[in-house]
Amino acid sequence: MNYQDLQIDWLKCFVAVVDAGSLSNATASVHRSQSAVSMQLKKLELAVGQKLLIRNNRHTELTTEGQMLLGYARRILDLHSEVQAAFHGEELVGQVKLGVPDDYAAKYLTPVLRNFAPRFGGVEIELTCEQSTSLIPKIASNDLDLALVSRDNTSRGTLLFHEPMVWVGTPQFELWRREILPIAVYESASLARRSAINSLALQGKPYKVVYNSSSLAGQITAVESGLAVAVFTQCSVPSHLTILGEEHGLGPLEPMEVSVYRSAHSKKSQAVDYLYDLLVRTLRNSAV
C-alpha cells in the first residue's frame, strides 16, 4: 500500500495544539493563523486516516489514536531539532532575553541552559529574575523574548508541568500552634499569596500577614527568623526548613501551572526558536 508521508509542519501544529490546549493558544508557537493550524491538522488526520483530536470552543482532547501518535510526533520533532542543531547550531547567533522567577531558576532553568550553551555559543542569553507577575507584562510589551512563569488557569502560554505548593516553617518556632497564624506573603497579585489565603479561608483558620516581600530570599529570611510561616514552590524549599501539612493544622494548596511564554516580536528569531523548543522538550512533565 502507498502511504502519505507525514510532514514536519503537520506534526509541529499537532504537538503545539496538544501542549497549548486549543488551536487559538497554539498559533503563537507555530507562527500560523488559527485557520492555518486547523488546515495542517486536517492534512495530518487525512494522512494517518484517523481522527486525532476532539475539538470544541474551549479546548481539545486527544483521541486514542491521537495519544498514540503524540509519542511518535515528539520523538520525530526532537530528532529533527537535533539534526538542525548538528548542521546549523554553530552558525546560530543573536540574543535571547529570558525571564524566570528565582524559585524556578536553579532546578528548572539550569539544566536547559547547560544543554543550550555548548551547542549555541554564539547566542547571548540576557537573564531577568523576577516574580511571574512582573515577567508576564514584559512578554506582552516585548521587553522579554521568553519567560518561564507560573500562570493561572485563564492565562496563555505553553503549559509544561504542575509545581506543588507547600507550607514551610522551622521546627524551633512552632508558629502553627498559635491561635492566629503569622504568615509571610509575596505581593498582592502573587498566585502563591492567593493560594495561601484561599487555603486558610477554606479552613476557617485565623491568620495575620506579618511580612511582605517580592523575593524568595526575603520569604526564606522571614521563615528562618521565626517571624512567620510561608508558602513556597516545592522546588525552592531549603533543606534546613520544614514542610508543614495537615498534622500541623495546615490545609492543602493548589499547585502552580508552570508555562513558557513567548513574545510576539520574537517570532522571527531562530535563536529564540531553539531555546523555546529546548525549554518545552526538557521541562514538560518534569516536576515531581
Q: How many percent of the chain have pLDDT more than 90?
A: 54
State the residue range of the domain holding 58.
8-85
At residue 283, the 3 state secondary structure works out as helix
At residue 20, the 3 state secondary structure works out as helix
Is 3 within a domain?
no
Amino acid identity for residue 135 in this structure: L
Q: Distances from the Cα of 165 to the Cαs of 96, 127, 185, 200, 263, in angstroms? A: 29, 25, 13, 14, 27
- 155-185 pLDDT, tens digit each: 678 889 999 999 999 988 888 888 899 999 9
Distance between CA atoms of 219 and 210, rounded to whole angstroms? 11
What are residue 149's DSSP bridge partners?
A: 259
224 and 278 fall within a common domain: no
Q: Using the structure block, give the residue that is written with the C-alpha cell 502552580.
A: 256
Q: Using the structure block, give the residue that is written with the C-alpha cell 515577567.
A: 135
Closest among 196, 205, 211, 203 to 177, alpha carbons compared: 205
| Strand blocks (E) in 130-173 | 146-151, 158-163, 165-169
Overall average pLDDT of the 211-234 stretch: 93
66 and 207 fall within a common domain: no
Residue 272: which CATH number?
3.40.190.10
Instruction: Give the pLDDT band (50/70/90) at residue 287.
Output: very low
Find out whether 122 and 96 touch, Cβ atoms under 8 Å.
no
- 7-23 pLDDT, tens digit each: 999 999 998 888 777 88
Is 1 within a domain?
no
Find out whether 236 and 150 touch, Cβ atoms under 8 Å.
no
Number of domains in the chain: 3
C-alpha cell at 41: 491538522
271 and 145 fall within a common domain: yes
Is 198 within a domain?
yes
Is 271 within a domain?
yes
- 100-154 pLDDT, tens digit each: 999 999 889 988 888 788 777 788 999 999 999 899 999 999 999 999 999 876 6
Please, what is the Cα angle at 90 between 84 and 94, to 5 degrees?
Answer: 100
75 and 106 fall within a common domain: no
Find out whether 25 and 67 touch, Cβ atoms under 8 Å.
no
Q: What is the pLDDT of residue 91?
A: 67
Distance between CA atoms of 248 and 200, rounded to whole angstroms? 13
In the listed set 85, 118, 142, which residue is the last one of a domain according to the structure?
85
182 and 215 fall within a common domain: yes
Q: How many percent of the chain have pLDDT more than 70?
A: 93
173 and 246 fall within a common domain: yes
Distance between CA atoms of 199 and 250, rounded to whole angstroms? 8
Residue 15: which CATH number?
1.10.10.10
